[in-house]
Amino acid sequence: MAGRQREISVSEFFLKNRHLLGFDTPAKALVTAVKEAVDNALDACEEAGLLPEITVQVRDRFGKSRVVVEDNGPGIVESQIARIFGKLLYGSKFHKLSQSRGQQGMGISAAGMYGQLTVGKPLHIISRIEGDELASELYVSIDTANNRPDIHKKKRVEWDRPHGTRVEMEMEMEGHHQTGPHSVEVYLKQTAIANPHVSIVYTDPQGRETLFARSTDRLPPRPREIKPHPRGVELGRLIQMLSGTKSRSLLGFLVDEFSCVGKKTALQIVKRAGKPLSDRSYPTHIAHAQATALHHAIQRTPIQAPRTDCIVPIGEARLLEGLRKELPADFYTATSRPAATYRGNPFQVEVGIAFGRPGETKIEVDASGHMHKKNAPDAGAVEQLIARKDEPIHLLRFANRVPLLYQQSSCAITKAVIQTNWRSYGLHQPKGALPIAPMAILVHVASVWVPYTSESKEAIEPYPEILKEIKLGLRQCARQLAHYLRHELHLHQEYDKRAYIEKYLPHIGVALQDILTLTDEERDAAVRKLDNILHASRTTQRQDP
Ligand SMILES: Nc1ncnc2c1ncn2[C@@H]1O[C@H](COP(=O)(O)OP(=O)(O)OP(=O)(O)O)[C@@H](O)[C@H]1O
Ligand SMILES: [Mg+2]
């Protein structure tokens, strides 16, 4: 037994458990690989203050998929490339508390590892930083036994981009290229909704090019980095911080290492923690019992809520713009909740609704008050992110502007939608299920640390604080929707009534002509007058919420 004990490297572990990283089936692995590369490209561009221009290419050949993602970002210095793409748990975002798409430091290297496992090919990277005469080209794979990069080839090459990164990976392919809700197209389309400042050109395996054009040239404001909020720090982490700090006094430690702690609050915490702690205690000498007292004191002292400029919501106006751009519908509404916190981490929830599916009949009222039935042209099937009227609504889930396509049922967003009583807003909802309506609900959770349910970042853990905020956002939008639905119902009833009366108007005309011996012109004028009276009602004019 003792002879068989061996250390396991993190890459070996995830190679055996690749489903944990979202690489279980070839079709899912393809979407995950594109997602990891695109998320990194967007993060890099935004961090460098550049408007993202991304190209994504998927090609299927001889039972393999080849994915190429290219960005106009700042590029990567040559000495870092191998470790970024050939080592799990290596990245710039894990220790930083500010909103970004990536957070774990293993997205892109896991995609590379999957390619290496299924077709035996290393990742091919070209990257150039601004001002460099040549770009760096590397072929990198992971030495999984040691979680270290293996560089196969490295050279300096000419490249037509002044700065940016190009990642090429090959992986196993399964059957046909997938379309539908779990496809690369849908992932990119949803990315375009939540990121109206991004331009993406996608070339699918058939060579068809789709452009997701940007609708704004303004980058979202850059999120500010924050220090941890004392309320969210668990005892073990506090002990670790105490032993690792450079501060020479407890007072200095509390003020320097945490956000929202000024000198006054720090003194209150120390006083609450009691003797033998004092503001001048040396942090690295604080024993376990005193650290526990300090931890309790932190929980009991009133401390300012965390700063919220570390998160950047999409914003109501941009959210509506994104929905209108990508989802043709009859009615839209959106709301941005104020920031809140879970375990000391700030987060913010946004909700948008697109209701009504093109292709279905709708009643329109013209300026004279006349009502018409109208059939909108049907958009293409792939374009449809809005459910049919007899289907459960479609949910578009986002975390830090990244679409979440898998594990819908275990996500906080789904739970919040199911737990909302949609019947009171005029929708049909089976017990314990999503409502049935021609509708898409978009929910965005932005946070400095999104609590994903697993390393594959596919669903959000239903912390009570997060559930509560999502429900409040949903209710706010649902009220606007109910207002619209009441109006639509009223229109339909009115249309039916009017249609009934309209049917008899010519007969009334003939009867009047008979009784009053009218000329044909007088009869027609009387019918026109009656028709105008019928349509003069103002109750059908909608005020948009
Ligand atoms: N296209 C790119 N341009 C510039 N830097 C990049 C690019 N792709 C990756 N990086 C850098 O490489 C690091 C590692 O990327 P990786 O996707 O493995 O992890 P991550 O994005 O930090 O977290 P996650 O695992 O959640 O995606 C990033 O933190 C980033 O600093
Ligand atoms: Mg990443």
Domain containing residue 281: CATH number: 1.10.8.50
Residue 380 banded pLDDT, cuts 50, 70, 90: low
* pLDDT > 80? residue 19: yes
Mean pLDDT to the nearest integer, 408-435? 95
Say which CATH number the domain at 392 has.
3.30.230.10
pLDDT greater than 70 at residue 375: no
Residue 404 inside a domain? The answer is: yes
For residues 492 and 477, state if they share a domain: no
The answer, yes or no, to whether any atom of ligand 1 lies below 6 A from the CB of 76, is: yes
Same domain, yes or no: 426 and 462:
yes
CB neighbour burial string for 428-440, b if at least 16 within 10 angstroms, e if fewer: ebeeeebbbbbbb
Residue nearest to atom 19 of ligand 1 (CA): 105
pLDDT on residue 178: 75
**Pocket of ligand 1 contains residue 104 by CB under 6 Å:** yes
Paired residues of 157 in beta bridges = 135
Of the listed ranges 181-185, 319-323, 384-388, 395-399, the one predicted with least confidence:
384-388
Distance 203 CA to ligand 2 centre (A): 22
Closest atom of ligand 1 to CA, residue 73:
3
What confidence score (pLDDT) does residue 200 get?
96
In whole angstroms, give the CA distance from residue 91 to residue 39.
13
Which pLDDT value is given to residue 421? 96
CA of 38 to the centre of ligand 2 (A): 8
Percent of the chain with pLDDT over 90: 58
Taking CA atoms only, the protein residue closest to ligand 1 atom 9 is: 40
CA angle 458, 233, 414 (to 5 degrees): 25
Is the confidence at residue 538, as pLDDT, over 60? Answer: no
Band (535; pLDDT cuts 50, 70, 90): confident
Note whether 396 and 327 are same-domain residues. Answer: yes
Q: Domain residues for 384?
A: 316-481
Closest ligand 1 atom to Cα of 71:
1
Average pLDDT over residues 394-398: 95
- Whether 44 is in the pocket of ligand 1, judged by its Cβ within 6 Å, is yes
Handedness of CA 77, 133, 48, 57 (dihedral sign): negative
Q: What is the mean pLDDT of residues 191-209?
A: 94
What does the pLDDT look like over 70-110, one tens digit per residue?
A: 999 999 999 999 999 999 888 888 888 888 999 888 889 99
Confidence of residue 168 (pLDDT cuts 50, 70, 90): very high
For ligand 1, atom 8, the nearest C-alpha belongs to 40
Looking at the structure, do residues 336 and 357 belong to the same domain, yes or no? yes
Last residue of a domain, one of 167, 185, 212: 212
Do 192 and 236 fall into the same domain?
no
Give the pair of three-digit tokens for residue 364: 């329109």
Look at the block and give the residue holding tokens 């449809």: 384
Ligand 1 in reach of 223 Cβ (< 6 A): no
Pick the residue with more confidence: 179 or 467?
Answer: 467
Residues 448, 344 share a domain: yes
Residues 459 and 513 occupy one common structural domain: no
Q: Is residue 516 part of a domain?
A: yes
Say yes or no: CB of residue 108 within 6 Å of ligand 1: yes
* pLDDT greater than 50 at residue 459: yes
Return the ligand number nearest the Cα of 109: 1
Q: At 119, which CATH number? A: 3.30.565.10
Total of domains in the chain: 4
pLDDT band at 46 (very low <50, low <70, confident <90, very high): very high
Q: State the average pLDDT over residues 55-71.
A: 94
pLDDT at 544 over 60: no
Question: 410 with 335, same domain?
Answer: yes
Answer yes or no: is 2 within a domain: no
Sequential DSSP letters for 332-357: EEEEEPPPEEETTEEEEEEEEEEE--
One domain for residues 402 and 428 = yes
- pLDDT of 490 above 50: yes
Give the range among 173-182, 323-332, 374-383, 413-422 with minimum mean pLDDT.
374-383
Mean of pLDDT values over 274-289: 88
Atom 14 (ligand 1): residue with closest C-alpha?
Answer: 91
Band (pLDDT 50/70/90 cuts) for residue 545 is very low
Q: Which ligand is nearest to the CA of 400?
A: 1
Nearest CA owner, ligand 1 atom 13 = 91
pTM of the model: 0.87
Closest-CA residue, ligand 1 atom 7, reads: 40
Report the alpha-carbon distance of residue 72 to residue 213 in Å, rounded. 15
**Residues in the chain, how many?**
545
Q: Are residues 146 and 198 in the same domain?
A: yes
Confidence band (pLDDT; 50, 70, 90) for 382?
very low
How far, in Å, from the CA of 493 to the mean position of ligand 1?
56
What pLDDT does 494 receive? 83
Does 436 share its domain with 354?
A: yes
**41 C-beta closer than 6 A to ligand 1:** yes
Task: Flag whether pLDDT at 420 surpasses 70.
Answer: yes
84 lines ligand 1 (CB under 6 A): yes
- pLDDT at residue 128 is higher than 90: yes
Instruction: Provide mean pLDDT across the span 287-297.
Output: 91
Which residue, 265, 300, 335, sits at the end of a domain?
300
Assigned domain for 307 exists: no
Nearest ligand to the C-alpha of residue 93?
1
In terms of domains, do 404 and 529 share one? no
CA angle 164, 101, 333 (to 5 degrees): 115
Q: Which atom of ligand 1 is nearest to the CA of 94?
A: 22
Average pLDDT, the chain: 89
Residue 440: strand, helix, or coil: strand
pLDDT at 198: 95
The yes-or-no verdict on residue 426 having pLDDT over 70 is yes
Establish whether residue 71 lines the binding site of ligand 1, counting it when its CB lies within 6 angstroms of any ligand atom: yes
DSSP per-residue codes, 142-190 = EETTTTEEEEEEEEEE--S-SSEEEEEEEEE--SSPP-STTSHHHHHHH
Q: Is residue 306 part of a domain?
A: no
Contact 403 CB / ligand 1 (< 6 Å): no
Question: Distance (Å, rounded) from C-alpha 377 to C-alpha 14?
Answer: 48
Report the pLDDT value the prediction gives residue 381, as an integer from 0 to 100: 41
Q: How confident is the model at residue 389 (pLDDT cuts 50, 70, 90)?
A: confident
DSSP strand pairing (135-143 vs 148-157): antiparallel
Spell out the residues 6+ positions from residue 139 whose beta carbon is closer than 8 angstroms to its own: 122, 123, 124, 125, 151, 152, 153, 154
Pocket test for ligand 1, best of 11, 89, 103, 108 (most atoms within 8 A of CB): 108
The whole-number pLDDT of residue 93 equals 84
Tens digits of per-residue pLDDT, 203-246?
Answer: 999 999 999 999 889 999 988 888 888 988 889 989 999 998 99
C-alpha 104 to ligand 2 mean position (Å):
7
Domain assignment present for residue 3? The answer is: no
